[in-house]
Each structure stands twice: as structure tokens, then as C-alpha cells.
Amino acid sequence: MNDSINFRAIDDPALIEVLASPIRQEIVDMLAALGGEASAGDVAEHLGRHVDGLYYHLKILCKAGLVAAVDAGADGGRRFRLSGDARPLRLAYKTADEAQAQTLRMFIHGLLQVAEQDFNAALTKGDVITQGSERELWAARNKAWLSADELVEVNELLERLCVLMSRPRTPERDRLLSCTFVLVPNRAVSKRRSMSDKESE
């Protein structure tokens, strides 16, 4: 089994801004989950949205070159695919670039909005699995001290997760799930307040 995925890196602030929209994030993710190409109707059905509401966002994605319109399917419905060779997208961070940093802030805001919407929707389902090895619903936050080796292990595990979650649908891969995570460095804060902190109170 191939445990690697060749992602398409996105570092252009203009493209990241396009993807900052929660619904456009969902569209791109769903196209990837459906093998890189699908009809607008299929995307809408799996997102639980009306297809007419997706065309505006698909047009923006096409104009940005992230998605391409292809010939209509047998049913006459319009089809769309991820541009290029339909690889899943991944952001390439350039935090020293303020324009890109600002669009990354917009993107993470949208990403967390989608995660919250997905979690809230799952709470309304009576048959969601919440325990055991086939658990489907889980939210957690951890803060920990890690060694350099442990940080490497964390990144390897997250990369493995990204690979697993980026494979297209097959007859065996028939359960649609979403996973959102945020890994950030935490900076220690002095226990003693500075004079500027005191003066600002």
C-alpha cells in the first residue's frame, strides 16, 4: 500500500484568500474526497447543500484556477475537477510574508468554522459512534511539553493522518468523515508582569 500522497502546495496569498471561505474549503475537500472530479450535484448532495448555491463559489474557484469545469456528465449536470492533476491541496506557509500571514489568519478562521459546523451537525445524529475503535465523533485539545524526537513523531502521525484522509473514495472506503487539527507552538509567558502591562490596566 502506498503511504504517500503528492499534495499540491498553495502559497499565493490570493489563492489562500479564495480558500478562506468555509464553503469553498468544503467544495475543494469534497472534490478531493470524490477522486478529484465530480458533478456539482454530487458535491452538493454530500455537503447537504442545494446545488444552485454552489455555482457562485465554483465560479470563483474556477476563476482562481483551483478548479476547472469539464464536459457535462451523462445526466447533463455540470462537472468540476481539481485543477492540474487533481492532487489534494495543501497550504505552504510563509509566515514572514505579512500578506500571506493575513490570508492564513482568514483561512484558519474559516477552517475552524467548518469544523464547528460539522461537529454540531454530527451531534444531531442519533447513530453517531462516540466510543471504541470505530469512533466517529471526537474533539479534544492538549497542551504538552515535547522532546525534539516526540515532535518528530507527532508530525509523522499527523502526516500519516493527512495521507489517510486524502485518499479517494473506493467501495471499501465508504464512510465520509472530516478531521481538523491545529498544531501551534506555545510561548512561555513571564510570571511577573512588566511595567507596561501594569500601566495598561
**What distance in Å separates the CA atoms of residue 74 and residue 64, rounded to the nearest whole number?**
27
**What distance in Å separates the CA atoms of residue 139 and residue 182, rounded to the nearest whole number?**
12
pLDDT, residue 1, reads 40
Per-residue pLDDT of the chain (201 residues; tens, 9 = 90+): 445 667 778 888 899 999 999 999 999 999 988 888 999 999 999 998 999 999 999 999 999 999 999 877 666 668 999 887 667 778 888 878 888 889 989 999 999 999 999 999 999 988 899 999 999 999 999 999 999 999 999 999 998 998 888 887 889 998 989 999 999 998 866 666 655 555 555
Model pTM? 0.77
